[in-house]
């Protein structure tokens, strides 16, 4: 009897130590797991932010394309209608920056017929593309560039178009007049509609000379 008491006490002591150690280990494990999880989530979020953040200079206005301007600006409704499909404009302006002189009224090329045959549609689309190419100039010319060129050339310049015709620009009394390859005359009334792939100017019809 004198020997069993210390043994029982020792067993209880060992049991207490084991329980305390287990609790301490479990607590440290949970704390470590939470810290690791928090650090991992922070790293993942930082990586996601780095992939999706947009620099300040990439504001929505600078992401517009020439096609977006034609589609969204009501002043270009007639020009958009003349194109039939703005997909054509996308394909023309996709590879390089251009300047589009877009007629907003006057003798625009389009066909309102809903019963047009497939062959006629192909012909019409060909004419539409040929027509719009005569109003597109390679490179980006804003209104300041145009006025600078006019000042150097006695207020008259001729710009070759992608469609291999000529746009003649003349400045009179502060107004810029534009004549196309068919001798249709316009006034430049909408300027500097900037896009990431170029710039658009709107032309108001004056007549034929």
The model's pLDDT over 159-178, given as tens digits with 9 standing for 90+, comes to 999 999 999 999 999 999 99
Residues 173, 75 share a domain: yes
Residues 77, 49 share a domain: no
Query: 11, 34, 53: which is the final residue of a domain?
Result: 53
- Between 53 and 156, residue with greater pLDDT: 156
Q: Residue 154: pLDDT above 90?
A: yes
pLDDT for res 207? 78
Q: Residue 103: pLDDT above 70?
A: yes
Residues 102, 72 share a domain: yes
Residues 2, 41 share a domain: yes
In this predicted model, what pLDDT tens digit does every residue of 20-50 receive, in sequence order? 666 655 555 555 545 544 443 444 344 333 3
Query: 28, 53, 78: which is the final residue of a domain?
Result: 53
CB-CB contact of 132 with 108 (8 Å): no
Q: What is the mean pLDDT of residues 143-156?
A: 96
177-185 contact pairs (CB < 8 A, 24+): 177/206, 178/101, 178/203, 179/209, 180/134, 180/135, 181/134, 182/208, 183/208, 183/209, 184/103, 184/106, 184/107, 184/208, 185/209
pTM: 0.66
Domain that holds residue 100: 59-208
pLDDT for res 57? 27
Average pLDDT over the chain reads 77
Q: How many domains does the chain have?
A: 2
Residues 63, 49 share a domain: no
Residues 162, 71 share a domain: yes
Residues 152, 83 share a domain: yes
Residues 39, 133 share a domain: no
Quote the CA–CA distance of 187 and 204 in Å, as a whole number: 5
Quote the CA–CA distance of 94 and 160 in Å, as a whole number: 19
Residues 20, 84 share a domain: no
Q: What is the mean pLDDT of residues 11-25?
A: 61
Query: 12, 27, 53: which is the final residue of a domain?
Result: 53
Q: What is the mean pLDDT of residues 97-121?
A: 75
Q: What is the mean pLDDT of residues 113-129?
A: 71
């Amino acid at each position: 009897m004198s020997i069993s008491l210390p043994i029982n006490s020792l067993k209880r002591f060992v049991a207490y130590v084991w329980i305390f150690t287990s609790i301490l280990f479990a607590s440290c494990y949970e704390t470590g797991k939470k810290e690791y999880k928090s650090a991992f989530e922070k790293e993942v979020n930082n990586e996601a932010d780095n992939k999706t953040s947009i620099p300040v200079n990439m504001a929505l206005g600078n992401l517009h394309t020439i096609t977006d301007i034609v589609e969204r600006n009501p002043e270009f409704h007639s020009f958009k209608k003349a194109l039939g499909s703005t997909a054509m404009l996308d394909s023309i302006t996709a590879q390089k920056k251009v300047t589009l002189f877009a007629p907003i009224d006057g003798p625009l090329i389009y066909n309102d017929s809903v019963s047009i045959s497939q062959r006629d549609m192909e012909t019409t689309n060909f004419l539409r593309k040929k027509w719009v190419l005569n109003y597109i100039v390679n490179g980006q010319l804003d209104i300041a560039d145009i006025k600078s060129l006019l000042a150097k050339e006695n207020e008259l310049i001729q710009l070759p178009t992608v469609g291999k015709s000529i746009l003649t620009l003349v400045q009179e009394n502060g107004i810029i007049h534009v004549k196309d390859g068919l001798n249709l005359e316009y006034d430049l009334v909408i300027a500097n509609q900037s896009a990431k792939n170029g710039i658009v100017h709107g032309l108001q019809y004056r007549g034929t000379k």
